[in-house]
Structure 1
């Protein structure tokens, strides 16, 4: 008698028997939709979704299954034994044997899913009486097939997708990541969630007594996949920029860094990289400090990289002329304060002021201009307003209130103190110098032209300042390390003391370089910001300029930009010597 009962239980646990064959029913289930692909401007996939089923359990059905099995076996037994019922002890024997078989399968299940021993029972207890719980999310299809092959009541495979980022750390801060439900959490995955996400479908299916799908009946509503997102990013340049920035941070023992590459003609963002970064394919112990995009969200005082705009404002308004000479003897009293230069440069023309990065020279220019005019031009090039890319958390920076500016504040504003900008804002401002006075809006999406470009100063002013900035790249300028073989380069260094709770630090700096090339007809703008270099050097011309050189040179070659007709550096040097 007992042997027959145990045999029936064995069939129930290990074979596709009466319970599965005779207890089928129709149910409606959801069909997960496919999330859109994020790709670069050349169609290279940056974020894709691949099938990764999840394993679910219905705790209510899992427990109820024990009762069902006893009832079904008793029914079978009575049919073969003239209606005789199982005794209480026989029912207990049946239930014990069945549970033992399920327990063995649970052990197998936990091994397949890499779950700690006892985890399934813990979930069943925590979700007691509930109809749904995850056992494992986004596993390989082959493992899911093995799990469903165990034929455990209430345990099923659910169609889902796993987000994969082929470029890993290179674009992580830009792309962001999705959560276990495939919902964008940060960066572009978050800001374009509505576009990328699809709409789940529904279908009617046949389920067996174990509540597992055994056949599709019909589609009720087909899933609608999300739309693809085509970025302005050129992944080739992105990788180049990431590699060089990472090398620079390591070599200079820096705290962090950011780098932006813009198309000078239409404001497209071709690269935006950060240090440190993270691996979006493995989000264990992920901290916010790792996944924020410093190029968009972090601000700093831009220092001497603002000087070209002080010069442009003064030239545009007729307050100075290129031939004007400024005495820069190292010390310039302004009220009760003093503006200082690193050296006594003596008499400098306007180009010389930029070449030597004289604080005194630009301070004297700023004091010639009405405060509302000077601040107005800085605002026109985008300082103090959002770049409006739609990137989550993008910074607007800060411009000082005009009415609060004393003469000394105007003086320090002229060389980049008293305002704050992001690397993206600074790069955007330099498009006005690169594209003959046209300030471009910036975009993370691919586009042919910028219909929102605005003229902020004349073509003549832009070209004049651009030519002056070429002198910065000469041997006696501050950024000889920014030169790019075969191309004329214009740019400006910035070495900025970091502000703290008790004033400016004596030994913590931002090393910055902003530049464009080819200076004859600019195609790209690149900004490099390195935070707290601590390996000895901290000047923008020695820390950030070499990164600019490698990234700009590589990017121009990748884009097939024709080198200047001849190596113009010797000509430029000769012109300076004459």
Structure 2
């Protein structure tokens, strides 16, 4: 009989019954039968204790791994889930603060005064030129309006990063791109642009490279001109590219509102032209023109000369950024006399028909006061006092009023106080202390003809406006409001209510007296306009020393303030020229002709009909 290996049992040639019995006997120890080709059966080894240990170990490792995996998933999904989600979003998203252009500025006729536009900075890198330097310089010089030889010299002196222009328009940039020259780099950016250049610079102002207003309404109205900006989160692809399809709804989105001013550029142009010509003729230091609608205080024109181009503000004298018509004080001289007449009439110390004796001089304390050019006018009424600009008559008139009462009226007009306006850097006028004014007789005397105190040109216009509008002190302003592209108003500045200073009857009487100044024999005859009734007052004042104490020798400030039309007063025009040269440099000869030109332009722009014959 063949010997079998241990653990093998042979069932060959056994009776069927015996085979089944043994099969049942061995079934407890056999896990699986396998029949081979020769009908023999091989039985797996019995499960031992070591095998069970290994099995339990494997199952333990698997269960432990599953538990660890579950704990880790819980930690990732539940405990650290929010932080990891935020981290993933930060990697997939980017925070952008989109460029939001400042609001446009337009004039009363919707002419553009300031706008943000796309510009280009041009740099040259001569070492990268694919054409000869002289050829590049020649072609660029034609486009940039520069000297070709100077450009070539710059190219020879520096190999790279030569700044040629910092604010090229898109059209010019396109022409440079069309040259197809290597070594020319155009960098796109946005910049504030002022189409009218220096025409409205004293009103509009300018912004610096950081887009911050530095003068004019660009400075004082910064909050209204800047649109609100909010950071926007955009999705980006794996390569970092932004995916605009995932931009939030309505992005980019900003309002279409712009700021409208009360300024009329047509009138502004006429005023600047007249002022420049007269300043050149008299070699003057500086000048200003202001036109105000006395009904509501809106300024239709405000010009100072010299001025600057806000598109090239870096080339300008820094002193020009301050609008001196708002920020500098001066003694108004005789242009203040009509206001003193109004005070006298309103206080009841004079009547329109009162007559005064002008002998050419008057003694006040230890001081002697004279008329200009030592003139004497004899017996003159109040209208003639204004007509001939009599200092003596004014002193006598105001001597009828107690100094304390007079001082109260000056304060009521706003002297010694600040003035509300939407233009920046406005300063308060100056008036002597009440004690000094009351106890020193010379102070009320000099104040009667406009000296001994100081104010700004704009404040004089405001006060004279009270004569043109029935006695109300209004707020001079240039901002009309915020309007959208359809012309609908969304914001109007809140201004102080007009204060009633004089009665309408008093105001009208003074205006009619001022009309004599612009008559044939008046000091303001140069302001006459055929067919129109014009009221006015000239002024030729000494300039006070900057350090205080006395007046400058051979220095004067000439002015003319006008009101039109006399039959229905509404508009106030001030022309002022500082330090004109020449023996004939007076308010009537220097400033009145300027005012005339401006009023002629005003008549055209406002379509004022001729006055009816009296």
The interval holding the TM-score normalised by the smaller chain is: 0.7 to 0.9
Cα pair 1:198 1:227 within 8 Å, conserved = no
Equivalence for 1:430: 464
Residue aligning to 2:290: 260
Distance 2:321 2:420 in 1: 20
Q: Deviations over 1:463-508 (max 9, x none)?
A: 2111111111112211111112211111111100111246212311
Structure 1's 136 and 357: CA in aligned 2 closer, same or farther, altered over 3 A?
A: closer
Q: CA deviation at 1:257?
A: 0.3
* Residues 552-571 of structure 1: per-residue CA shift (max 9 Å, x gap): 122022101111113x5xxx
What secondary structure does 2:552 align onto?
strand
Q: Which shows bigger deviation, 286-295 or 407-416? A: 286-295
Q: Deviations over 1:510-541 (max 9, x none)?
A: 00111101011012100111001114422101
Deviation at 1:542, TM superposition (A): 0.9
Relative distance call for 1:151 and 1:544 in structure 2 (3 A) is closer
Which consecutive unaligned segments of at least 5 residues does structure 2 have? 1-91, 145-150, 482-491
Q: Is the 8 A contact 2:575 2:595 kept in 1?
A: yes
User: Do the aligned partners of 2:213 and 2:222 also contact (CA within 8 Å) in 1?
Assistant: yes
Is structure 2 residue 571 aligned with structure 1 residue 541? no
Which structure has the greater CA radius of gyration?
Answer: 2
State how far apart, in whole Å, the 2-side matches of 1:545 and 1:510 are. Answer: 13
Distance 1:345 1:102 in 2: 78
How does 1:8-47 map onto structure 2 within 5 Å?
A: 29-47=96-114
Alignment check: 8 A CA contact 1:513 1:544 kept: yes
Alpha-carbon offset, residue 381 of structure 1: 2.6
Aligned mate of 2:521, from 476, 479, 482: 476
Q: How much does 1:383 deviate?
A: 2.8
| CA distance, structure 2, for counterparts of residue 227 and residue 282 of structure 1 | 26
Verify the 8 A CA contact 1:106 1:120 in the aligned structure 2.
Answer: no
In structure 2, distance between residues paired with 1:139 and 1:26: 34
Which region of structure 1 is more displaced relative to structure 2, 429-438 or 219-228? 219-228
- Asked if 1 retains the 8 angstrom alpha-carbon contact of 2:293 and 2:570, the reply is yes
Q: 2:579 aligns with which of 509, 525, 532?
A: 532
Residue 384 of structure 1: how far off its partner (Å)? 2.8
Question: How far apart in 2 are the matches of 1:481 and 1:156?
Answer: 55
The answer to whether the 8 A contact 2:126-2:160 is kept is no
| 1:157 Cα deviation after fit | 5.2
State the match for 1:8 in structure 2: none
Aligned-residue offset at 1:270: 0.6
Alpha-carbon distance between aligned partners in 2 of 1:205 and 1:251, rounded to the nearest angstrom: 66
2:442 equivalent in structure 1:
408
Flag the 1:207–1:365 CA change in 2: closer, same or farther, 3 A: farther
1:508 to 2:555 alignment? yes
Match of 1:391 in 2: 423
In 1, the alpha carbon distance for the partners of 2:203 and 2:301 equals: 9
Paired residues, what number?
483
Are the equivalent residues in 2 in contact too, given 1:33–1:225 (CA < 8 A)?
no
2: CA distance, partners of 1:273 / 1:260: 7
- Judging changes above 3 Å, is the alpha-carbon distance between structure 1 residues 207 and 330 closer, same or farther for their aligned structure 2 residues? farther
The change in CA–CA distance for 1:554 and 1:320 in structure 2 (over 3 A counts) is same
- The answer as to whether partners of 1:39 and 1:47 remain within 8 angstroms in 2 is yes
Give matches, 1:47-126, under 5 Å. Answer: 47-52=114-119, 104=128
Q: Kindly indicate whether residue 223 of structure 2 is the aligned counterpart of residue 194 of structure 1.
A: yes
| 220-229 or 232-241: bigger deviation | 220-229
CA distance in 1, matches of 2:238, 2:169: 24
User: CA 1:544–1:562 in 2, change beyond 3 Å: closer, same or farther?
Assistant: same
Please state if 1:456 is matched with 2:456: no
Question: Aligned match of 2:542 in 467, 490, 497?
Answer: 497
CA distance in 1, matches of 2:462, 2:210: 36
Gapped runs of 5+ residues in structure 1?
Answer: 1-24, 57-100, 124-133, 569-578
Aligned counterparts of 2:220 and 2:370: Cα–Cα separation in 1: 45
TM-score, normalised to structure 1, is 0.75
Give the corresponding residue for 1:322: 352
For the Cα contact (< 8 Å) 1:241–1:551, is it kept in 2? yes
* Counterpart pick for 1:370 among 364, 387, 402: 402
Among candidates 565, 586, 603, match of residue 518 of structure 1: 565
Q: Secondary structure at the match of 1:52?
A: strand
Counterpart in 1 of 2:209? 180
Whole-angstrom distance in 2 between the partners of 1:265 and 1:285:
39
CA contact (8 A) 1:439 1:456 kept: yes
Other-structure match for 1:251: 281
Of 533, 536, 560, which aligns to 1:488? 533
Are residues 1:358 and 2:390 paired? yes
Superposition CA RMSD, Å: 3.6
Residues in 2 aligned to 1:455 and 1:300: alpha-carbon distance in whole angstroms: 25
Is the 8 Å Cα contact of residues 441 and 453 (structure 1) preserved in structure 2?
Answer: yes
- The 8 Å contact of residues 252 and 536 in structure 1, kept in 2 or not, is answered as no
User: Which of 455, 476, 479 in structure 2 is aligned with 1:445?
Assistant: 479
Matches within 5 A, 1:121-270: 138-141=167-170, 143=173, 160-200=189-229, 202=232, 204=234, 218-219=246-247, 222=252, 224=254, 227-270=257-300
- Which residue in 2 is equivalent to 1:131? none
Conserved? CA contact 2:126–2:159, under 8 Å: no
**1:337-387 superposed Cα distances (whole Å, 9 cap, x missing partner):** 111113111111111211111111111122211223212222323333333
Partner of 2:489: none
CA contact (8 A) 2:332 2:455 kept: yes
In structure 2, do the counterparts of structure 1 residues 435 and 27 end up closer, same or farther at CA, with 3 Å as the change threshold?
Answer: closer
Per-residue deviation, residues 259-306 of structure 1 (Å, max 9, x unmatched): 110002111111000100111222342212223212211221000111
CA contact (8 A) 1:195 1:227 kept: no
Distance verdict in 2 for CA 1:506–1:116, change over 3 Å: same
Q: Secondary structure at the match of 1:281?
A: helix
Q: Tell me how far apart the structure 2 counterparts of residues 400 and 225 of structure 1 sit (CA, whole Å).
A: 50
TM-score when scaled to structure 2?
0.71
